[in-house]
Amino acid sequence: MLEHVKASLTEAKTALENLLENEAAMGKIVQAADLLSECFESRGHVYSCGNGGSMCDAMHFAEELSGRFRKDRPALGAIAMGDGAHITCTGNDFGFEEVFSRFIEAHGRSGDVLLGISTSGKSENVIRAVRRAKELGVKTICLTGKPNSALSELADVEICTPGGRFADRVQELHIKVIHTLIELVERKLFNETYEV
Ligand SMILES: O=C(CO)[C@@H](O)[C@H](O)[C@H](O)[C@H](O)COP(=O)(O)O
Ligand SMILES: [Zn+2]
């Protein structure tokens, strides 16, 4: 089994090395951090969503902004669409495809930002949320893992981090992107330098 551990970690390392060589993706991270910072500067809100592990990432992202990341600083208005009552009501009455689009319809205002996370880029509920956000004047950032997905065409800023055949490697890259985005927002809004 030890050889499988090593192979698995090596695969993860290669996926990260590929991202480090992907200048286009890194440029998109900077663009996305600018969008988020502008939104917070004007007291807007950021809404995040995804399915399964990507919902966990959406919640992780939001809590580090509304709660705490590396240091104490003012709370930032980030909300993950993880309300079980909303998801079950909307899923039951309107269909699972509508759970996130209806959330953004309820809360999203012009100047807000939606972060949609989907490793395949083809989850219908995330796609519909991005479409509804655009109708409302809400800017959209998408984290995906497959080039040229449905979300690639829709998002204002798409950060695509391919990680191979499976969703887990993509998610591991997504969480690194998420932490980098939050770091950039804190640098911009609070002049954090994180110098050691
Ligand atoms: O966490 C994992 C796999 O690592 C799973 O729960 C995964 O998130 C689910 O299969 C999702 O439904 C996949 O959706 P998506 O990333 O393709 O939008
Ligand atoms: Zn974290």
Task: With respect to residue 195, please indicate whether it lies within any of the assigned structural domains.
Answer: no
- Closest residue by Cα to atom 1, ligand 1, is 53
For residue 66, the domain's CATH number is 3.40.50.10490
Instruction: Determine if ligand 1 sits within 6 Å of the CB of residue 120.
Output: yes
Domain presence at residue 196: no
Q: What is the pLDDT confidence band of residue 111, given thresholds at 50, 70 and 90? A: very high
Q: Which domain holds residue 35?
A: 2-190
The reply to whether 58 falls in a domain is yes
Q: In this predicted structure, what is the pLDDT of residue 196?
A: 61
For residues 196 and 36, which has the higher predicted lDDT (pLDDT)?
Answer: 36
**93 has which bridge partners?**
none
- Is there a domain that residue 76 lies in? yes
Residue 128 has pLDDT above 70, yes or no: yes
Task: Establish if 144 belongs to a structural domain.
Answer: yes
In three-state secondary structure terms, 51 is coil
Atom of ligand 1 nearest to the CA of 119: 16
Q: Is 168 in the pocket of ligand 1 (CB under 6 A)?
A: yes
126 alpha carbon, closest ligand: 1
For residue 40, how far is the Cα from the chain centroid?
16
**Total of domains in the chain:** 1
Q: Residue 147: inside a domain, yes or no? A: yes
The predicted complex's ipTM stands at 0.97
Handedness of CA 127, 54, 107, 76 (dihedral sign): negative
How many CB atoms are closer than 10 A to CB 185?
Answer: 25
Residue the block writes with tokens 């954090």 = 192
pLDDT by residue (tens digit) across 88-105?
A: 999 999 999 999 999 999
Distance CA 116, CA 155 (A): 9
Q: Is the CB of 125 under 6 A from ligand 1?
A: no
Whether residue 90 lies inside any domain: the answer is yes
Rounded CA separation 160/139 (Å): 17
* Residue 37 structure tokens: 């910072």
User: Which ligand is the nearest neighbour of the Cα of 64?
Assistant: 2
> 31 among the known binding-site residues?
no
